[in-house]
Copies of this chain bind each other. A is one copy, B any other.
Amino acid sequence: MKPIRVGLLGLGVVGGGVWTVLAQNGGEIARRAGRRIEVAAVAVRDVAKARALVGPDVTVTTDGMALARDPDIDIIVELMGGDTVARDCILEAIAQGKHVVTANKALLAVHGNEIFAAAQARGVMVAFEAAVAGGIPIIKAIREGLTANRIQWLAGIINGTTNFILSEMRQRGLPFDAVLAEAQRLGYAEADPTFDIEGVDAAHKLTLLASLAFGIPVQFDKAYIEGISRLASEDIVHAERLGYRIKLLGITRRRPEGIELRVHPALVPDHCLLANVEGAMNAVLVRGDAVGPSLYYGQGAGALPTASAVVADLVDVTRLQMADPEHRVPHLAFQPDAMADIPVLPMADVRTCFYLRLRVDDRPGVLADLARVLSDAGISVGSMFQQPHGEHQADIIFLTHEAREGDVDQALRAIHGLPFVRSDVTRLRVENIT
């Protein structure tokens, strides 16, 4: 059979990885796909550099739109990133009736509804396994492997940079800034690490996972996002003493009133598998009503792991490109006419357990007053411990039972007004996931 001809937009880390994987495993891949998959053209900024890599037989251009319009190209693989040129090229490829594979989570989390609708209308596929958790086939697992289930919730470590930083902070007892600098030196963090450390990248990915899990449109703007840049080393130490590790989790959960959609650091029990996902690794724990808990683990970034997902999508698209659209897996797991209209819950209505730490004057009655404020707000304390700080002060840590976040915020405002309270209250969520 004639080879499938791919137009590759971008030949950076991931694009180079795709080139390498197709070159290295082309035979093995053709044995699975039933035909060869060839890069016919690449669009790049630096033509000479690209030419040196791909040799004389591949078209090299700086014009991505030209590739999107080239009738000799069967599938466009978009690995440029960004949401301007990438978006234009993808929409043009779709308009031309081409299938698209992309790793661009930022684009899909924001413009996904538009892009998937355009693809649906034109009868083409937009595949995006590489957009979430690198080489882990998590989109396939949720979209096809767990179709029997009413998915209840999922929680994932879906940003390798922050997981690396948190692992190093815990294992080596170093503060955030020192570990971030080291991560930048090692290439685990970018020069401008904001998107990673502030949780934005994880929220892009979580937005996509939530759509797949619950059949709702992508709605990044509704996600609650809190990063790790203000996380204190001492909370990592306290958490460990209490039998927890702190991870940056993306969590989405179906509640009767709506969908939780949130990224934030959380304490997780140290014996659970997610707590033991260390370094730059990713993992997603998915709970379905039939399957129970299931976990997917692997490298969430890097040239070859991400290329593994891109090429798996290429094989899927190659298999199904001539099939009727109705035979294909829907982009967001559910049929477009069967999407649900469930609201995303405001954070104030989310219920979790909490870790609260504050400094107080060490004198009688303090604990009673704090307990009273919490109890008045309907928050019940699971455990408490206290650590002297100097002669006249103490740090108090509460672990609460499940409480509504809005109620906790209200209680914290009251606590801040108490005369013996000497610090802000550090508030972290506790996820007793299993």
Contacts and interface: CB of A to CB of B under 8 A. Distances in A.
Interface of A: 17, 21, 24-25, 28-34, 129, 134-137, 140-141, 144-150, 215, 271, 273, 276-277, 283, 288-299, 302, 304-305, 307-312, 314-316, 319-320, 322-324, 326-330, 333-335, 338, 340
Looking at A326, A327, A329, the one whose CB has the most chain B CB atoms below 10 A away is A327
Given A144-B312, A145-B312, 4 more contacts: A25-B290, A140-B141, A148-B307, A322-B324
Nearest to A330: B32
Contact of A289 (B24, B148, B149, B330): B24
Contacts of A24: 150, 289
Contacts of A320: 323, 327
Nearest to A319: B327
A291 B315 contact: no
B141 A137 contact: yes
Looking at A129, A273, A294, A323, the one whose CB has the most chain B CB atoms below 10 A away is A294
Contacts of A140: 137, 140-141, 144-145
A315 B145 CA distance: 9
A335 B314 CA distance: 16
A147 B33 contact: yes
Contacts of A17: 290
B148 A311 contact: yes
14 contacts: A25-B150, A25-B290, A31-B338, A32-B335, A34-B326, A135-B294, A145-B312, A148-B308, A149-B308, A273-B273, A294-B298, A296-B296, A319-B328, A323-B327
A141 B215 CA distance: 22
Nearest to A133: B294
Given A305-B292, A327-B319, A312 B31 contact: no
Contacts of A305: 290-292
Given A141-B137, A288-B308, A290-B21, A29 B323 contact: no
Contacts of A310: 148
Given A140-B141, A308-B148, A334 B21 contact: no
Contact of A323 (B145, B290, B298, B323): B323
Contacts of A330: 32, 34
Contacts of A136: 291, 294
A302 B291 CA distance: 9
A315 B33 contact: no
A134 to B, nearest CB: 8
A134 B291 CA distance: 8
Contacts of A338: 30-32
B276 A31 contact: no
A302 B293 CA distance: 13
A309 B291 CA distance: 8
Nearest to A310: B148
A279 B333 CA distance: 32
Contacts of A34: 326, 330, 335
Contacts of A148: 21, 25, 29, 307-312, 314-315
Contacts of A333: 32
Given A292-B298, A293-B298, A32 B147 contact: yes
Contacts of A293: 298-299
A304 B297 CA distance: 23
Closest 10 CB pairs of A and B: A137-B145, A148-B311, A294-B298, A135-B291, A31-B338, A290-B308, A295-B297, A291-B308, A147-B315, A290-B304
A144 B318 CA distance: 12
A306 to B, nearest CB: 9
A106 to B, nearest CB: 23
A298 B291 contact: yes
Nearest to A327: B323
Contacts of A314: 148
Contacts of A322: 324, 327
